[in-house]
């Protein structure tokens, strides 16, 4: 594939925001919809995330509650309820891949509102160096497994992985031989998991 064609592919991605958690923390409030202050602006976490990910041709939100609220921001896909044990972020990623119409799916957790503007460009540029491989952010200390760029062709691999009963994002990315993309700022991947984290952003 020629470089010009690859450069064109940098814009061929959809955004998937993972908001399908059970809201067991923060007094069972739906975290991605909680307002926080980042870079001088206060708005729901999910809106900070969407603003940081410019260029997506489609916005998909994995959510199992507050569906109508999320629909005002993008297409909503919910976890299937027909089979037992269908839980965890990989289920949401698979459902997102199933309806994705672009070559790549950019995956972001709905509780990481501190991402730099256009942070995902590093992942997209990684496409120039790999061929249909998954790319995952690495902050120099560890992989940020849910900040990743997944090629659409990985859907069958994920479906097979889940059918074996496995649910580990880390293990699936390793099975895919995902490539790391280095990020110098560890703090922007902050997960708002408790009241202490929330208070830091109020």
Q: What is the pLDDT of residues 183-195, one digit of tens each?
A: 998 899 999 877 6
* Element of type H or E holding 187: none
Strand duo 135-138 + 143-151: pairing: antiparallel
Mean of pLDDT over the chain: 87
Considering only CA atoms, give the Rg of the chain: 16
Average pLDDT of the segment spanning 40-64 = 95
Q: Is 54 exposed, middle or buried (0-12, 13-18, 19+ CB in 10 A)?
A: exposed
Residue 145: helix, strand or coil by DSSP?
A: strand
pLDDT recorded at residue 105: 97
Tokens of 113: 């509102």
Task: Give the confidence band of 127 by pLDDT, cuts at 50, 70, 90.
Answer: confident
- 32-49 pLDDT tens trace: 999 999 988 999 999 999
Q: Which domains does the chain have, with CATH numbers?
A: 3-200 (3.90.550.10)
From the number of C-beta atoms within 10 Å of its C-beta (0-12, 13-18, 19+), residue 55 rates as middle
Percent of the chain with pLDDT over 70: 82
Nearest to 105 by CA among 117, 94, 116: 94
> What is residue 2's predicted lDDT score, i.e. its pLDDT?
37
Count CA atoms within 13 Å of residue 158 on its CB side: 23
Residue 30: per-residue pLDDT: 87
Does this model's pTM top 0.75? My answer is yes
- Decide if pLDDT at 177 tops 80: yes
Please check the confidence at residue 3 and state whether its pLDDT lies above 70: no
**pLDDT exceeds 90 at position 1:** no
pLDDT of 19 higher than 80: yes
Taking CA atoms, 84 is separated from 81, 91, 163, 165, 197, in Å, by 7, 12, 11, 10, 33
């Amino acid at each position: 594939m020629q470089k010009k064609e690859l450069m064109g592919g940098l814009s061929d991605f959809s955004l998937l925001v993972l908001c399908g958690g059970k809201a067991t923390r923060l007094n069972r409030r739906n975290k991605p919809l909680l307002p926080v202050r980042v870079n001088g602006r206060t708005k729901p976490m999910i809106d900070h995330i969407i603003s940081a990910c410019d260029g997506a041709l489609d916005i998909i939100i994995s959510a199992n509650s507050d569906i109508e609220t999320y629909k005002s921001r993008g297409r909503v896909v919910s976890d299937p309820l027909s089979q037992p044990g269908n839980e965890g972020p990989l289920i949401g990623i698979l459902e997102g891949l199933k309806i994705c119409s672009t070559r790549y799916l950019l995956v972001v957790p709905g509780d990481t509102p501190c991402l730099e503007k256009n942070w995902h460009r590093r992942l997209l540029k990684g496409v120039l160096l790999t061929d249909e491989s998954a790319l995952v952010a690495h902050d120099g200390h560890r992989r940020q497994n849910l900040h990743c760029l997944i090629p659409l062709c990985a859907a069958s691999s994920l479906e097979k992985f889940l059918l074996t009963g496995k649910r580990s994002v880390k293990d699936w990315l390793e099975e895919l031989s995902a490539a790391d993309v280095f990020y110098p700022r560890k703090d922007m991947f902050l997960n708002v998991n408790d009241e202490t984290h929330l208070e830091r952003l109020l």
